[in-house]
A = this chain, B = another copy of it.
């Protein structure tokens, strides 16, 4: 894989943004390998993402940042530049169900998804052996029903201590406290086992079965302090029928959950997701 720098920008839309950015890149001989833009007429906001061949530039990442800063200031941009060879550090959190975790670990060890896993955190000890076989640290933080505050304090410290860029709730069956959610905006990724906003909260397949829907789904979203209401990154569905009981749906849904989570995580890892007004722009 070619090394690239990913320039991700959002700002109020106006004439001249693309011209300024692309001209800067061109002046240094930068080769753009992928370019995405979106002008949101509704909000008047502009979003763009460039991938520039690192080898085509006469300097490194820091110089590019320095060169870019004046343009960013001029247009009032939120922006960052990521290096495709600096994989993000992502802590995985799980409970007892292994389908999402197992799928992500396969993608990690095969290189299908490029990321670093500083550790796996779980409120149960069931998945330890499998995780440790991968040479990954397994941290068991039980979450007692009576008082969860200490547990989540440990979670918070663990995330901080491991310098995680992101946290993935890979069917972690506890609700994170609001202050923890707020501390990592657009950096905690959850997979919810329904097609949100249908069936918020617990036991969504049982809700789906009771309602008699003909499709069930899964939703990958950023976590916010409001339960299951954060910006949606990716969704998908599969067909069910009257033969499928709620427990069949649980089983069938697992395949959608793991696929949707992996797609959403990939977008995040590749800096393809931007959040604006509780919605995402995904340059897939």
Instruction: Name the B residues within 8 Å of A242 (CB-CB).
Output: 38, 40, 279-282
A30 to B219, alpha carbons, bound, how many Å? 38
- Specify how many copies of this chain sit in the oligomer: 4
Q: Provided the pairs A18-B18, A26-B19 are in contact, do residues A235 and B215 lie with their beta carbons within 8 angstroms?
A: yes
A16 to B56, alpha carbons, bound, how many Å? 13
B198 and A215: CB pair below 8 A? no
Whether A61 sits at the interface, judged by CB under 8 Å, is no
Instruction: List residues of A (16-50) whose CB comes within 8 Å of B's CBs.
Output: 16, 18-19, 22-23, 25-26, 29-42
Q: How far, in Å, is A186 (CB) from chain B's closest CB? A: 13
Instruction: List residues of A (229-250) whose CB comes within 8 Å of B's CBs.
Output: 231-237, 239, 241-243, 245
Q: How far, in Å, is A129 (CB) from chain B's closest CB? A: 8
Chain A residues with a Cβ under 8 A of chain B? 15-16, 18-19, 22-23, 25-26, 29-42, 56, 98-99, 102-103, 106, 110, 112, 133, 195-199, 211-215, 217, 231-237, 239, 241-243, 245, 251, 254-255, 259, 262, 278-282, 284
